[in-house]
Amino acid sequence: MKQFEILYNGDGEVEIMDSIKMVSLVEELENFDRMDVSQIHELQEDGEIGQTIWTEEEGLLVPWSYLFDLEP
Domain range enclosing 57: 3-70
What digits encode the pLDDT tens for the residues 12-59?
899 999 999 999 999 999 999 999 999 999 999 998 999 999 999 999
Q: How many domains does the chain have?
A: 1
What φ, ψ does residue 55 adopt, rounded to 5°? -135, 155
Could you tell me the pLDDT band of residue 72, with boundaries at 50, 70 and 90?
A: low
Query: How many angstroms separate the CA atoms of 22 and 16, rounded?
Result: 9
